[in-house]
Structure 1
Amino acid sequence: MDGFERRKQQKKQAILQASLSLFQTQGIKKVPIAEIAKAANVSQVTIYNYFESKENLLEEVLIYYVDQIWQDYQYLFTEDISFDKKIKQMLFGKVDIANDINGEFLQFLMQYYTTEGNYIEKLYREEVLPAVMQLLQQGREEGLVHEQISDQAMLFYLQMFAEYLKREDLAPQIIPMTEDLTRLFFYGIAGEEPASE
């Protein structure tokens, strides 16, 4: 990558970071391109040159945001720690979508997820799902996931959950229940967590 391309990528990254920060705190409609340009230390023309419209920028910001979250989980999934500790970090760790995102931005994210062939669905199918299956296999090996539950049943359950999330009208109900739903998936309706080491 030459110097020009590197500077272009740095500017694009600055725009995405500034946009995400502003959209998360203020929502989408209240944030003009001029404010994003000021926060990213670039001109408005530069933003339009890179993204063409606020709508395209918003979609790129959403992808950038999802990638950041996925990177956090990828790191967790590959850490050399027990299944039990990984699950507890997933349930009670730093990633808390419900608290760090503006309602308007969250609504856009949920609407985007309902569109056919979207980036989130592709990422889920190609990367997230295989990683979760590998995590569940670790749980089996450590005796914390019941060996009689088949991969097919777990895949069906995950797909059922993912399909349900695509319903636009459910976003306001689902997000506050994220922790409960995750706990329900891993520990069942009895709510029993594995004993700590």
Structure 2
Amino acid sequence: MNGFEKRAELLKAKIRETVLAMLQDCEPKHIRIADIASEAGVSQVTIYNYFGSKEILIREAFKHYVTEHVDDFEVFMSRGPTFQQFVEYVVKADTEAFRRFTPAFIQQMMSGDPDFAAYIDEVTQQRAMPLMHAFIEECKEKGQISDKVSTRMILTYVNMFVAQSQKLLEEAQQSGKGEQFFEEFLHLFFYGVCGIEPEA
């Protein structure tokens, strides 16, 4: 990559980050190319040259966000976490996405943009799921997970909670004690209502 290409990539990254920051407070329909250009300190022509349209820019920015988080997840998994650390990471990462973007925006991207939905399905099936499946099997061998429960059921159980990330975030915010809330949630996830922890 030559100097011109490096500068172009840095400029694209700046534009994407600008859009992601704006999406924390605004719905996509309320964001104009002129606003993005002003915030990023570039011309509208530059944005059109790099991305073609506002819709493509928003899709590419969110795809880049997702890709970075999948990359981070792979790095995390390579460190050999325990199953408890894995669940904590997954739930908090998903909750962070809902903290950064509105549920309406995420739903719009998933159901209103076939290309983005296809991309998410591809990333999930080809990168995330094989990694999680192998990890759970390894945890079973180490005795960290009961071998009485199938890998599919464990993934279903984890995904059930992940699907409620928005509700968890709302409850945590209403409690006024976010960290304590998630500590109690994770304790409940692993040890149930009775709270009986295994002996060390």
What interval of TM-score do these two structures reach, taking the shorter chain for normalisation?
0.7 to 0.9
Equivalent-residue separation in structure 1 for 2:190 and 2:33 (angstroms): 45
Aligned to 2:166: 176
- TM-score, reference length from structure 1: 0.73
Equivalent-residue separation in structure 2 for 1:88 and 1:53 (angstroms): 38
Segments of 5+ residues of structure 1 without an aligned counterpart are 166-172
Equivalent-residue separation in structure 1 for 2:38 and 2:156 (angstroms): 45
How far apart are 1:42 and its partner, in Å? Answer: 1.5
Equivalent-residue separation in structure 2 for 1:155 and 1:146 (angstroms): 10
Give aligned pairs, total. 182
From the superposition, tell whether residues 178 and 2 of structure 1 become closer, same or farther in structure 2 (CA, over 3 Å): same
| SS of corresponding position for 1:25 | coil
Structure 1 runs, 4 residues or longer, greater than 4 Å off:
92-95, 112-117, 154-158, 186-197
From the superposition, tell whether residues 188 and 120 of structure 1 become closer, same or farther in structure 2 (CA, over 3 Å): farther
Normalized per residue, the structure richer in helix is: 2
Aligned to 1:62: 62
1:128 aligns with 2:118: no
From the superposition, tell whether residues 11 and 193 of structure 1 become closer, same or farther in structure 2 (CA, over 3 Å): farther
Once the two structures are superposed, the pairs formed by residues 86-97 of structure 1 within 5 Å of their partners are 86-92=86-92, 96-97=96-97
Once the two structures are superposed, the pairs formed by residues 13-52 of structure 1 within 5 Å of their partners are 13-52=13-52
Q: Is the 8 A contact 1:37 1:47 kept in 2?
A: yes
Report the more deviating stretch, 111-120 or 14-23: 111-120
How far apart are 1:3 and its partner, in Å? Answer: 0.9
Equivalent-residue separation in structure 2 for 1:81 and 1:58 (angstroms): 33
Q: Is the 8 A contact 1:140 1:146 kept in 2?
A: yes
Segments of 5+ residues of structure 2 without an aligned counterpart are 170-184
- TM-score, reference length from structure 2: 0.72
